[in-house]
């Protein structure tokens, strides 16, 4: 039966379960007494919801605390082993797959290097499929125990009714790739295990907002600074974040050609790939491996005390800081965030040495009023942040369902992934 606002009793129960689970997850262990004011529920509702969650194995006791003259109060927490998630980062040099319990403790991981940035669709699908099987076997977790598989990818992701998540990754040569259907066609996971596929910058943003430097902020931008650059915008209107193709903002008319094919993109000046290429053009001799090359560039620009810095390396880094700062100023002017967090392997590697210059340029190019209200810092979650954020996607869905697992697909016509498999199978 639906109430005046259209909500049914089932909706109300689900919302109450969600409220209790989330408070225990982020602020627990808590007692039943503390859960009342924390969730806004009555003591009776809290008692009923906790009883249900304990029966379902989602909540367990975690000791007790003394009360004011009364009986000790039992503390409650989310049971770590009551669910598992897999997070996948389709990165620039490798595919990383990690298995987590419900509290995001890592249980197993697998990595598949990408030789010479080869993003062949079948190869990426194979890496994900094999990596998922590997981590499940290593941790001895049955596939049916998964709440879902979250995947962060480079590019724009859209959901379609017949093919699920479709990826448009222009910089890696992916056009209209039905990644979810292809994974379904080759994976041995049950159909009841959902895939959650989204832009890697968004999964990075999700992780930083839940567990990193974005906690407590209402408006934030999380920047992914790797071979290229991207960003995730989080506002009260966009609670779970929205990936923005910030790296393809035009910063110079008729400028350098970006790997997307356009001229003058921010990524053509501020990404690690372009940074190293510009160093090479100016006479530098970077190693072939991109991460090693960035380390060498930093060492040349910021040598040990008493050693002279390479002026070319220093100038290239300073120019990159200016372009990145100018790009951040656009984000400041457009969205007026409280915080900007810089993550990604290149952002973390450049780190504290690079950040003061970026901040200085961002403040000099931005409007004064929003610039005075924003902080620019490094992300706090390290190189695994995209993978953690990807794993949060099924976790967030689990919370939204009040701790219920996704319903198995109903009987009916052949699913889209099976059609995709048949279309790709030689006859």
Domain that holds residue 392: 84-202+384-401
- Residue closest to 295 by CA, chosen among 341, 345, 361, 258: 345
Q: Do residues 38 and 160 share a domain?
A: no
For residue range 280-310, list pLDDT tens digits in order: 999 888 888 888 999 999 889 888 888 888 9
CATH of the domain at 44: 1.10.10.10
In a domain, 418, yes or no: no
Q: Do residues 218 and 360 share a domain?
A: yes
For residue range 368-380, list pLDDT tens digits in order: 999 999 999 999 9
Q: What is the DSSP letter of 257?
A: B
Q: Do residues 283 and 359 share a domain?
A: yes
Following DSSP, what letter does each residue of 324-374 receive, concatenated? HHHHHHHHHHHH--SEEEEESHHHHHHHHHHHHHHHHHHHHHS-HHHHHT-
For residue range 35-73, list pLDDT tens digits in order: 999 888 898 999 999 999 999 999 998 887 776 666 788
For residues 55 and 228, the model is more confident at 55
In a domain, 406, yes or no: no
Q: What is the pLDDT of residue 413?
A: 40
Q: Of all residues in the chain, what percent carry a pLDDT higher than 70? A: 91
- Residue closest to 402 by CA, chosen among 5, 24, 3: 24
Q: Is the pLDDT of residue 246 over 50?
A: yes
Confidence of residue 28 (pLDDT cuts 50, 70, 90): confident
Whole-angstrom distance between the N-terminal and C-terminal Cα of the chain?
Answer: 52
Q: Is the pLDDT of residue 422 over 60?
A: no
Picking from 78, 103, 124, the residue at the C-terminal end of a domain is 78
26 three-state secondary structure: helix
For residue range 104-114, list pLDDT tens digits in order: 999 999 999 88
Q: Is the pLDDT of residue 352 over 90?
A: no
Q: What is the pLDDT of residue 19?
A: 93
In a domain, 1, yes or no: no
pTM of the predicted model as reported, rounded to 2 decimal places: 0.86
In a domain, 413, yes or no: no
Q: Do residues 70 and 95 share a domain?
A: no
Q: Do residues 148 and 42 share a domain?
A: no
Q: Do residues 38 and 67 share a domain?
A: yes
Q: Do residues 108 and 74 share a domain?
A: no
Q: Is the pLDDT of residue 149 over 50?
A: yes
Picking from 78, 98, 131, the residue at the C-terminal end of a domain is 78
Range ranked top by mean pLDDT from 5-19, 58-72, 193-207: 193-207
CATH of the domain at 157: 3.30.420.40
Q: Of all residues in the chain, what percent carry a pLDDT higher than 90? A: 48
In a domain, 412, yes or no: no
Confidence of residue 425 (pLDDT cuts 50, 70, 90): very low
Q: CA 101 to CA 366: how far, in whole Å?
A: 42
Q: Do residues 248 and 276 share a domain?
A: yes
In a domain, 67, yes or no: yes
In a domain, 419, yes or no: no
Q: What is the pLDDT of residue 418?
A: 36
Q: Do residues 228 and 300 share a domain?
A: yes
Q: Do residues 56 and 92 share a domain?
A: no
Q: Do residues 250 and 366 share a domain?
A: yes
Q: Do residues 312 and 194 share a domain?
A: no
In a domain, 268, yes or no: yes
When divided into structural domains, the chain yields a total of 3
Residue 355 · residue 376 · CB < 8 Å: yes
């Amino acid at each position: 039966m639906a109430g005046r606002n259209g909500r049914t009793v089932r909706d109300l129960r689900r919302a109450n379960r969600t409220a209790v689970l989330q408070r225990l997850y982020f602020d627990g262990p808590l007692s039943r007494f503390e859960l009342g004011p924390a969730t806004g529920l009555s003591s009776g509702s809290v008692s009923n919801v906790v009883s249900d969650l304990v029966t379902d194995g989602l909540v367990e006791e975690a000791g007790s605390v003394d009360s004011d003259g009364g009986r000790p109060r039992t503390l409650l927490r989310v049971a770590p082993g009551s669910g598992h998630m897999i997070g996948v980062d389709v990165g620039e040099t490798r595919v990383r797959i990690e298995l987590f319990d419900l509290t995001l403790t890592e249980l197993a991981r697998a990595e598949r290097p990408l030789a010479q940035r080869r993003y062949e669709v079948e190869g990426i699908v194979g890496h994900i499929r094999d990596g998922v099987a590997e981590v499940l076997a290593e941790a001895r977790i049955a596939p049916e125990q998964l709440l879902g598989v979250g995947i962060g990818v480079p590019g724009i992701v859209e959901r379609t009714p017949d093919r699920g998540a479709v990826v448009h990754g222009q910089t890696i040569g992916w056009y209209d790739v039905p990644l979810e259907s292809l994974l379904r066609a080759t994976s041995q996971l049950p159909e009841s295990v959902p895939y959650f596929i989204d832009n890697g910058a968004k999964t990075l943003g999700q992780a930083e907002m839940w567990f990193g430097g974005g906690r407590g902020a209402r408006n934030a931008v999380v920047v992914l600074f790797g071979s290229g650059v991207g960003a995730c915008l989080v506002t009260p209107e966009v609670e779970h974040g929205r990936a923005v193709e910030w790296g393809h903002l035009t910063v110079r008319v008729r400028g350098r050609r970006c790997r997307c094919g356009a001229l003058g993109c921010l990524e053509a000046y501020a990404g690690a790939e372009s940074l190293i290429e510009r160093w090479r053009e100016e006479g530098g001799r970077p190693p072939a491996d991109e991460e090693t090359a960035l380390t060498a560039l930093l060492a040349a620009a910021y040598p040990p005390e008493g050693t002279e810095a390479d002026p070319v390396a220093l100038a290239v880094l300073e120019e990159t800081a200016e372009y990145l700062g100018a790009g951040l100023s656009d984000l400041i002017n457009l969205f007026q965030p409280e915080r900007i967090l810089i993550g990604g392997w290149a952002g973390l590697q450049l780190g504290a040495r690079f950040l003061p210059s970026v901040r200085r340029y961002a403040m000099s190019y931005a409007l004064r009023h929003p610039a005075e209200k924003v902080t620019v810092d490094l992300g706090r979650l390290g190189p695994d942040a995209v993978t953690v954020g990807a794993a949060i996607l099924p976790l967030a869905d689990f919370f939204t369902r009040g701790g219920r697992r996704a319903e198995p697909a109903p009987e009916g016509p052949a699913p889209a992934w099976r059609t995709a498999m048949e279309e790709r199978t030689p006859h």
